[in-house]
């Protein structure tokens, strides 16, 4: 089942004119009071877009573990998406990703202040006047090789799923990417290098704590994702074997070992040098003062790889051995891949395709690791 068929496009994402005077559009959370909108003309779907779940990771909090958001004095306007996290979006006209509804809506408005989530929940009218049970929760982690992406992508919109099911809530969120999320810096504590994964965990904790206020069941959270998002969901099942919080996971084209890095700091040192901060004792403090967009521009000019770092705390070197020792959360798991997935990396103008090569690469990169992980 292809993800774009599951999370339907923003074509139905028409915000009806309704203010916070509607009681069900006003929700008090641990991040403060949020005012949402009706996300369709029938008023069956409530949307709360751009809810902060963490303090902005800026200034001295750049490359620090995310912290829970303190409530502001004023209500939060949750009627539009937040800025996506800094990344390089550079798909050419030859890429299938420019044909699919994959463009981040507000991609030109990137900001380090990006740790926000979106919630789509059924309205009271949609759920009816009878006995109402708490809705199941589908919490989605976006992909993008831990390097790019965001929660405001067209086919990540939860409107249609909620509109078609009165007992379902959909959640998407941003997390730090590339060098901002996985710096592999020599001056950082080895257990605090995987900041993007720590962001994800904080988002999961936020949903568990707050989702009942939106009509959701904190004990029925499905964590699912695509590509790096699927790998992330798998990582959490190993990193938190005794307290996964979620009750099930779904992996689409990704497992925990998909993209990982050794803790050798090579990419950080090369990147820091390219930015102008060099290496050594002053490098880290210098990098903390560099404007975010200069970091993004430097990333665009070079070939730097920042993936989850093997720290044997959140990310492990041998998942098979860890599974054999029982050190994983035993969760119901749904897994699959997209047929001929590797063909997405071919240029659109290519007139002949080696189908055997496409099949072999798909098996090696996606299907065989997925089968092994589920087994």
- HEC per residue, the chain: CCHHHHCCCHHHCCCECCCCCCHHHEEEECCEEEECEECCCCCCEEEEEEEECECCCCHHHCCCCCCECCCCCCCEECECCCCCCCCCCCCCCCCHHHCCCCCECCHHHCCCCCCEEEEEEECHHHHCCCCCCCEEEEEEECCCCCCCCCCCEHHHCCHHHHHHCCCEEEEEECCCCHHHHCCCCCCCCHHHCCHHHHHHHHHHHHHHHHHHHHCEEEEEEEEEEECHHHHHHHHHHHHCCCCCCCCEEEEECCCCCCCCECCCCHHHHHHHHHHCCCCCCCHHHHHCCCCHHHHHHHHHHCCCCCCCECCCCCCCCCHHHHHHCCCCCCCCEEEECCCCHHHHHCCCCCCCCCHHHHHHHHHHHHHHHHHHHHC
How much is the mean pLDDT over the chain?
A: 88
pLDDT tens readout for residues 181-223: 999 999 899 889 999 999 999 999 999 999 999 999 999 999 9
pLDDT band at 309 (very low <50, low <70, confident <90, very high): very high
* Annotated catalytic residue, options 83, 151, 152, 227: 227
373 catalytic per annotation:
no
pLDDT over threshold 80, residue 150: yes
pLDDT tens readout for residues 13-45: 444 444 446 899 999 999 999 999 998 777 899
Domain boundaries, the chain: 3-260+311-336
pLDDT tens readout for residues 85-102: 999 877 778 888 777 767
CATH code of domain 3-260+311-336: 3.40.50.1820
């Amino acid at each position: 089942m292809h993800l774009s068929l599951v999370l339907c496009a923003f074509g139905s994402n028409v915000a009806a004119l309704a203010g916070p005077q509607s009681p069900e559009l006003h929700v008090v959370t641990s991040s403060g009071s949020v005012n949402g909108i009706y996300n369709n003309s029938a008023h069956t779907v409530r949307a709360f877009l751009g809810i902060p779940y963490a303090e902005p990771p800026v200034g001295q909090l750049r490359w620090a573990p995310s912290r829970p958001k303190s409530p502001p004095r004023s209500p939060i306007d949750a009627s539009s998406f937040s800025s996506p996290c800094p990344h390089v979006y550079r798909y050419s006209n030859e890429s299938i990703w420019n044909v699919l509804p994959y463009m981040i809506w507000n991609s030109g408005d990137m900001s380090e202040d990006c740790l926000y989530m979106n919630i789509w929940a059924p309205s009271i009218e949609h759920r009816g006047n009878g006995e109402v049970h708490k809705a199941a929760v589908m919490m989605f982690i976006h992909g993008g090789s831990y390097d790019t992406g965001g929660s405001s992508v067209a086919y990540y919109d939860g409107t249609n799923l909620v509109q078609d099911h009165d007992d379902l809530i959909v959640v998407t969120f941003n997390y730090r990417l590339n060098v901002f999320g996985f710096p592999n810096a020599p001056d950082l504590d080895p257990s605090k290098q995987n900041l993007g994964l720590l962001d994800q965990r904080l988002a999961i904790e936020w949903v568990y704590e707050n989702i009942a206020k939106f009509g959701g069941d904190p004990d029925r959270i499905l964590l699912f994702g695509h590509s790096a998002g699927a790998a992330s969901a798998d990582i959490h099942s190993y990193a938190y074997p005794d307290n996964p919080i979620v009750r099930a996971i779904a992996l689409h084209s990704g497992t925990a070992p998909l993209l990982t890095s050794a803790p050798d700091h090579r990419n950080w040192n090369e990147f820091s040098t390219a930015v102008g901060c060099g290496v050594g004792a002053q490098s880290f403090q210098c990098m903390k003062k560099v404007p975010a967009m200069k970091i993004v521009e430097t990333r665009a000019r070079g070939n730097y790889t920042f993936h989850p770092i093997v720290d044997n705390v959140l990310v492990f070197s041998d998942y098979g051995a860890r599974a054999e020792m029982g050190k994983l959360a035993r969760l119901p798991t749904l897994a699959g891949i997209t047929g001929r997935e590797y063909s997405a990396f071919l240029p659109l103008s290519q007139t002949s395709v080696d189908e055997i090569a496409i099949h072999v690469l798909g098996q090696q990169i996606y299907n065989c690791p997925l089968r092994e992980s589920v087994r």
